[in-house]
Structures are given as C-alpha cells and as structure tokens.
Amino acid sequence: MTLQSPPAPDPAATPTGTGAAGAPARTAILEARQLTKQYRLPGETVEAVRGVSLQVAPGEFVALMGPSGSGKSTLLQLLGGLDRPTSGDVLLEGEPIGRLSDEDATRLRRERTGFVFQSFNLVPLLNVVENVGLPFTIAGQDPRSGDLAVRIRDAIALVELTGKERHRPDQLSSGEQQRVAVARAIVTRPALLFADEPTGNLDFTTGLGILDALWRTCVDRGQTIVLVTHDAKAAAYADRVLVVGDGRIRDEIALGRREDHGAAPLIARLAQLGL
Ligand SMILES: Nc1ncnc2c1ncn2[C@@H]1O[C@H](COP(=O)(O)OP(=O)(O)OP(=O)(O)O)[C@@H](O)[C@H]1O
Ligand SMILES: [Mg+2]
C-alpha cells in the first residue's frame, strides 16, 4: 500500500520521534505489516483480519470503511495495540510494538495514542473538566496545575464545550458527551488518535459536530487520526479512505484534504469500484 499525497505535517505538532536513525520526517507514524487475527472458537476459527499492510503518515486523517463484520474494529484494536495479532507486526513511530514488554507497550500506548469509542465511557460523577482531565489524574498528575489546566481548557474549546465545564454527563446531550470523550482523548496531545464509530449512536447533525471536532484536531494540531466507520458521510472527512472487506483492504481512495466534507466524490468512487 502506498501513501498518496499525505498532508504536510504541522511543524508545531508533536515530533514523531522517528528521526533517531536519521530517518526522513515522512516516515510513517503507523505501519502494519501483513497483520492477521484469528479467533478460535469451539469448532471454528474466525479469520477477522487476513493479511493487512498499510501506512499512515504523520498528520494524516485515514478512514477504515467497510460493512458490519468486515474486521474494522479488530484491525483498529491491533493498530492501537489494544490486542495482539496472530501474525504480522504493527510499528508505531517505527517501533514494532509486538516486541515490547506489556509494560512498555502500555506506556507507549498511554503516551502516544488516544482512543474514542462508540460508547463514551465517561465517569458519571465527574464534570466535564474532571472527565477531560482524567488521563492526567490517572497518571498521578494534578489536572488543576497551570499547564495541564490550560491544556484541558484548550481541548474543551476545540470541541466547542466552553461554558459547559461544570456539567456532569447526565446534564449533557449525547453529542456533547461524545465531544467530551474526544476532548479527553486529545488532551494528552497524543501523536495518534484512534476512533471507532465515534458517531455511531448519534443522529446525523450531532455526528457531524463530532467529525468537525476530529477534523479540527487534524488541521489545528497536525493530529494523526485513524477513524473506523461504516458510513461514507463520516469517511468523507478523511484524507484517504481504506475500504475494508472480509478482513482485507479492498481498495484505497485518496480524497485529499478538503474544507468541504461532502460525501459525493467518495460515493462516486465507491460506485466506480463496484462497492
Ligand atoms: N472476540 C471475538 N471472538 C470471536 N470472533 C470475533 C471476536 N471479535 C470479533 N469477531 C469476529 O470477527 C469478525 C470481524 O469483527 P469486527 O468486530 O472487527 O467487525 P466490524 O467491521 O468492526 O463490524 P461492525 O461494523 O459491526 O462493528 C466478525 O466476524 C466477528 O464476528
Ligand atoms: Mg466494529
């Protein structure tokens, strides 16, 4: 799989750390090599991922799009180091994560990646500021301290929740709750953000608000995003769409970075490809 016209990385973005051996700045931030994942069940083996190789450039917004059961979530879990492949390698900033100890892999994941899931996983008793600051609290840092408080405020502003800081999740709409989850995932400024159907439970307009927020993290911060979706309207926000089918990457559609996220060009390309 080749990279097609990835956007220029934002020089202000977190450095990728791949330059240690003099590697060029365009080294993939994320790479998969011949990944497979089999689930062994009594009497059958499910081949959820069947040999996926891909590269994601720093600052790129990539969508993995495909129907239910095609292996998108399994692939995202492997790419994000939440699950181990049956065979193949995942390289995060050039580092093969499968060769790290569990402890080192956990640290790398915590420091370099963020996740947004379909279910928001907010803590009901904490307000917006406290939920967004949770990664710092878990790491033993004081989220009210100067620099961290600024980061929390910036993340809340980016998802346009300024003014709702003291609301608890049950005092927010579904879309607002998901925006809190996005803010929590980006507050640590991870190099790579993974999102699995982050708009899945939301109505169309609310879903667009989440996608706008994700897209802004790309544009404003040079954030790299890998988004899983079955929805062409969501995938149309990406710079590049990888079409997933039956555990493989079936096709790749380069959309380029566009201010207009209309799905028509993507739908036309999918139709051309017979998808
Ligand atoms: N823990 C598991 N044990 C056994 N089979 C699994 C497991 N997780 C996923 N599968 C199977 O692997 C295949 C891919 O599942 P996956 O969840 O990755 O699909 P998906 O593309 O994310 O689907 P959806 O759009 O419905 O979320 C499916 O056939 C599924 O039944
Ligand atoms: Mg899924």
Structural domains present in the chain: 26-272 (3.40.50.300)
Chain segment 86-120, per-residue pLDDT in tens: 999 999 999 999 999 989 988 888 889 999 998 88
User: Lowest-confidence range among 121-130, 174-183, 195-204?
Assistant: 195-204
Q: Give the C-alpha separation, 264 to 211, whole Å.
A: 17
Q: Looking at residue 13, what is its pLDDT?
A: 41
> Looking at ligand 1, which atom is closest to the CA of residue 66?
21
What number is the average pLDDT over the span 55-70? 97
User: Lowest-confidence range among 5-19, 142-156, 243-257?
Assistant: 5-19
What number is the average pLDDT over the span 189-215? 90
C-beta 48 within 6 A of ligand 1: yes
Q: How confident is the model at residue 22 (pLDDT cuts 50, 70, 90)?
A: very low
Percent of the chain with pLDDT over 70: 91
Instruction: Among 74, 75, 201, 230, say which to mutate for ligand 1: greatest number of ligand atoms within 8 Å of CB.
Output: 74
State the average pLDDT for the chain.
89
